[in-house]
């Protein structure tokens, strides 16, 4: 099973075509931290994180984790915890997962630069939510209803191909 991000605004899965958005600066095969680009390639999907106070009854075969107020994702290329889940009480540069806006009410971690991350190669690459289809910082974003449909259909073998 393969999710295809065909261009900067179309995501195809099975017989479904969804509107999506990618990084403000497009898609690149040479991703760098902070470049506002989405990495090009074929990637596994990792854990689904969600806000239990905002999203109920998620149906998926992927690993699920509730987002807590102290969760963040390290985006400091100089830190040994770069591109991984961190406790925001530590003095580590990070992106908060528990947000006031709805972008991270539900997200899928894309397995980009996760295992033995290369500093400055990019971090926190997710499939997350959007309401306005404005370019992301490097993620792929979808409407909530569309991401929930995809979560029901995918499994641990599903990959995402970003062209």
Range of the domain at 47: 2-162
Number of domains in the chain: 1
Q: What is the pLDDT of residues 30-46, one digit of tens each?
A: 999 999 999 999 999 99
How confident is the model over 110-124, as a mean pLDDT? 97
**pTM value surpassing 0.95:** yes
Burial class (CB in 10 A: 0-12, 13-18, 19+), 3: buried
Q: What is the pLDDT of residues 132-163, one digit of tens each?
A: 999 999 999 999 999 999 999 999 999 999 99
Nearest to 162 by CA among 15, 29, 1: 29
CATH code where residue 97 lies:
2.40.440.10
Q: What is the pLDDT of residues 63-101, one digit of tens each?
A: 999 999 999 999 999 999 999 999 998 789 999 999 999
């Amino acid at each position: 099973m393969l999710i295809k991000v065909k261009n900067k605004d179309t995501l195809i899965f099975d017989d479904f075509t969804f509107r999506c958005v990618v990084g403000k600066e497009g898609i690149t095969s040479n991703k760098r931290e902070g470049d506002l680009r989405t990495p090009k390639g074929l990637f596994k999907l990792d854990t689904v994180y969600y806000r239990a106070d905002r999203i109920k009854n998620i149906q998926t075969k992927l690993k699920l984790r509730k987002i807590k107020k102290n969760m963040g994702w390290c985006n400091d290329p100089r830190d040994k915890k770069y591109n991984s889940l961190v406790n925001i009480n530590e003095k580590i540069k990070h992106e908060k997962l528990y947000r006031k806006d709805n972008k991270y009410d539900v997200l899928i971690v894309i397995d980009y630069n996760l295992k033995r991350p290369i500093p400055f190669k990019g971090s926190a690459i997710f499939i997350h939510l959007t309401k306005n289809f404005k370019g992301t910082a490097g993620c792929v974003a979808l409407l909530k209803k569309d991401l929930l449909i995809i979560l029901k259909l995918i499994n641990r073998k599903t990959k995402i191909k970003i062209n």
